[in-house]
Structure 1
Amino acid sequence: MLEKGKINTGEFEIIVIIFTLGSTILVGPSLLASYAKQDAWIASFLSLMIGLCFIFLYNQLTSFYPEMTFIEMTKNILGSWIGGVVSFLFIIYFFIISAGLLREIGDFLTTQILVETPIQTILISFILISMAGVKLGIEVISRAAIIFFPWMIMMLALLFLFLIPEVEISNIQPIYGEGFKAIARATYSSLGLPYLELFIFLMITPYVSNKQRLKKSFYKGTIIGGVVLSILIIFSIIVLGADFTARHAYPSYILGKKISLGTVIERLEVIVAIIWFFSMYFKLTICYYGITLGLAQIFKLKSYKILVFPLAFLLVTFSIILYPDIVYFQDFLAHTWTPYSLTICFFIPCIIVFAANVKKVKTNKESGR
């Protein structure tokens, strides 16, 4: 195996939680509120329920070949040629995600915090940090996640606690006021961010030591991450209002600015920024790691590490080419990302599961003879 490291189910669960939060912490509330308004929280919980169905599908894939990554099992089930094509589609999909994540980091910092800093400087600085994690491997990435995870939870808890005085329950009324169609549209738009993206963990599952508890950890991590996102969306609506949440690119960041406890505690948007930096770092690093490992397996290289630097250069370049500005990026998320994600992370896995079952039946019949 190209990766020698091993992680336990607890570490796997934590990186699933952090990955689920990822970029959705910042852009998720706006995306959902733009369709469902004050009912965005309903759409968020519905998308979580559907997201668990995707996890069921991914767990089915891991049960066929628990010691193989998605690239390896695809070539084993579909054959070398067809499996290779599908594997490349997988790599391209997560390359686009990684470039988008990097661009999102650059856009946020250049519009909200470091407004005078060239975006190229930010992109290069962040990818260098991510490169270090990818080179060290999944074991080190997961250990780092364990260190930062309690701090993320503590800061989220403080954020929600300090926002309680700013709550206006009337902002969430009338419940179901936008009707089922608007909620369904919002639910659909949020499937690609983040639940279908969890497909990347099929590159990590072979390195989880306890395969018996793997499926449960995958479910638990997704549920915890999804519930936290839903709570954040609820706070965005009841504090900022549905219209403001829908209009602003980063409503959860604005939540921190609304905190005011006397004259002592004010404008704690840095809490949101820190949480987001942590979650974005690990999401980008996991996607980046999956791409390098997958390409190494496709080309049968002895080590995936020789691909780390060339891919970093390509990610920085394509983050600017693929996403020329923040308006284009948000439009891409709203209209293109979910159907594209469904194709790569749902329909293709369904075909592979079907082919694996056919192959299994055929093998059993032949062995019975």
Structure 2
Amino acid sequence: MNNRETISITQMAFIYFAYITGSAMIVIPGPLVKMSLNASWLSILISLVIGLVLLYIFFYLQTLYPGLTFIAFSRKIIGKWPTVIIACLILTMAFHMAVGIFIDVAAFMNSMMLPETPMYVFTGMLYVLAALLLRGGIESIARMFSILIVVIMVFWAIVLILLIPDYHPEFLRPVFPEGIKPMLLGSYLTFGFPYGEVVLFMIMLPFARAKQSKPLKKALVWAMLANGTVLVLSTICTIMELGPIAVEKNTRCSFSHNWLKSAIV
């Protein structure tokens, strides 16, 4: 543990932003619009607030037990065997989300680029890539994703800007065509993914080079707010661009809709 790699607060914020944004801005709008209709962006805001509450809870626990990992202070709070159960559940969630992301990426490659290539080719390459990243360590991951996420966000912004002539703000009304129940169901969906994954990311906090938790907390809060902005803008632009056919169009384009719905909802 003395030779454990650490990264800066800025790098940790970049990793966190990439972690909760990466596939979410592709996967979320389709099933969310189908479920919550024009209130989709409100669903994201509700789940974002809950995610921020989770984040503050974890930082509060870190102030009570400074220098300890999530598992370590869990043992102090609830004991050994309950912590073992929680650790097993977290490990199960990590494997579940990893498999889901691999399926998403492989399905995208298979449906959009190389339709005649078997999906196991893409999933196998992704498992090898994940193994190489883990072998490289958190410093290598931080350096790589700090660059990649900037490039991705630049292209995301370019796409939204190029679609401006096709936006119709009147499609955003009414906000609650079927009441508030769809909005609450949508917030449940987006809380499970991506904001529920805050629990997984908290395990990485001890790898940040931070003498105090306040600067790190501030950086992660800003990263989460930036993520919420990206998801809200993506969803609003989807509705303004597609209007009444947003549900049908997003259902066809979202290759992971059936998996996501069964896994989270």
With the length of structure 2 as denominator, give the TM-score of the two structures.
Answer: 0.90
Matched, 1:331 2:261: yes
Matched, 1:204 2:210: no
Paired with 1:236 and 1:72, the residues of 2 have a C-alpha distance of 43
Paired with 2:225 and 2:3, the residues of 1 have a C-alpha distance of 28
Q: Is the 8 A contact 1:13 1:217 kept in 2?
A: yes
Paired with 2:168 and 2:3, the residues of 1 have a C-alpha distance of 50
Paired with 1:124 and 1:4, the residues of 2 have a C-alpha distance of 29
Structure 2 equivalent of residue 236 of structure 1: 238
Q: State the secondary structure of the residue aligned to 1:117.
A: coil
Pairwise CA distance, 1:328: 4.8
Structure 1 equivalent of residue 132 of structure 2: 132
Q: Is the 8 A contact 1:32 1:44 kept in 2?
A: no
Paired with 2:70 and 2:33, the residues of 1 have a C-alpha distance of 34
User: Of 198, 216, 220, which residue of structure 2 is paired with 1:214?
Assistant: 216
Structure 2: tracts of 5 or more residues without a match: none
Q: Is the 8 A contact 2:15 2:145 kept in 1?
A: yes
Q: Is the 8 A contact 1:236 1:245 kept in 2?
A: no
Pairwise CA distance, 1:246: 5.3
Q: Is the 8 A contact 1:16 1:218 kept in 2?
A: yes
- Which of structure 1's runs of 4+ aligned residues deviate more than 6 A? none
- RMSD of Structure 2 on Structure 1 (CA): 2.2
Pairwise CA distance, 1:99: 1.3
Paired with 2:116 and 2:237, the residues of 1 have a C-alpha distance of 31
Structure 2 equivalent of residue 106 of structure 1: 106
With the length of structure 1 as denominator, give the TM-score of the two structures.
Answer: 0.66
Pairwise CA distance, 1:22: 2.2
Q: Deviations over 1:182-239 (max 9, x none)?
A: 2122112211010011211221111111133111112111111111111000111111
Q: Is the 8 A contact 1:48 1:195 kept in 2?
A: yes
Q: Percent identity?
A: 24
Structure 1 equivalent of residue 194 of structure 2: 194
Q: Deviations over 1:20-66 (max 9, x none)?
A: 21221112111211122122122222222222112122222322334
Paired with 1:3 and 1:126, the residues of 2 have a C-alpha distance of 28
Opposite residue 6 of structure 1, the aligned amino acid is T
Give the total of aligned pairs: 263
Larger Rg over CA atoms: 1
Opposite residue 330 of structure 1, the aligned amino acid is L
Structure 2 equivalent of residue 248 of structure 1: 250
Structure 1: tracts of 5 or more residues without a match: 254-325, 336-369
Opposite residue 151 of structure 1, the aligned amino acid is V
